[in-house]
């Protein structure tokens, strides 16, 4: 599948049940270019998009709680992109599969999650805050990471 109008390859890898493809961390230059505040802005846009999405039922019910979740997620992505270990300091080791286990994450929910993330990335693309190669590296990470979070068929 391909969404959006960007020249970047936002195709979504097909999910194969029982297959966990290898994950490659994003290029640290993505974080270096957009900065921690840029990452926090990205995750806030993303979570506010999720708040209006068809999968909003697996996220906090209030905008205030969503902003807290966005902050935790920003800490994770800052860390995964080579920045300070805010997530470990504030929440412990990521163990993201375990953290997501209580929520029913289906292949279809993954698609909505990725489409919402692509939408949140658009200002970074339009404002040329980083290179297309760095954005592609970040997207490639999301594409695989999201497959690891699926824990339900339907």
Q: How confident is the model over 119-144, as pLDDT tens digits?
A: 999 999 999 999 999 999 999 999 99
Average pLDDT, the chain: 92
* pTM: predicted TM-score of the whole model, two decimal places: 0.91
Please choose, from the candidates 114, 94, 153, 101, the residue with its C-alpha nearest in 3D space to the C-alpha of residue 13. Answer: 114
All domains in the chain, ordered by first residue: 31-149 (1.10.490.10)
Q: Which residue has the higher pLDDT, 87 or 55?
A: 55
Does position 2 have pLDDT exceeding 50, yes or no? no
Q: Is the dihedral angle over the CA atoms 136, 51, 68, 145 positive or is it negative?
A: negative
More confident residue, 105 or 92: 105
Q: What is the pLDDT of residues 23-49, one digit of tens each?
A: 999 999 999 999 999 999 999 999 999
């Amino acid at each position: 599948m391909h969404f959006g109008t960007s020249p970047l390859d936002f195709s979504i890898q097909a999910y194969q049940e029982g297959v966990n493809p290898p994950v490659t961390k994003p290029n640290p230059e993505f974080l270096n270019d957009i900065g921690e505040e840029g990452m926090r802005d990205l995750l806030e846009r993303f979570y506010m998009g999720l708040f209006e999405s068809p999968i909003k039922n697996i996220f906090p019910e209030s905008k205030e709680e969503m902003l807290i979740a966005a902050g935790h997620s920003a800490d994770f992505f800052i860390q995964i992109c080579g920045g300070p270990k805010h997530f470990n300091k504030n929440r412990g080791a990521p163990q993201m599969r375990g953290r997501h286990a209580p929520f029913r994450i289906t292949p279809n929910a993954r698609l909505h999650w990725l489409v919402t993330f692509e939408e949140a990335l658009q200002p970074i693309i339009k404002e040329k805050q980083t290179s297309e190669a760095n954005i592609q590296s970040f997207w490639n990470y999301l594409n695989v990471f999201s497959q690891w979070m699926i824990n339900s068929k339907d």
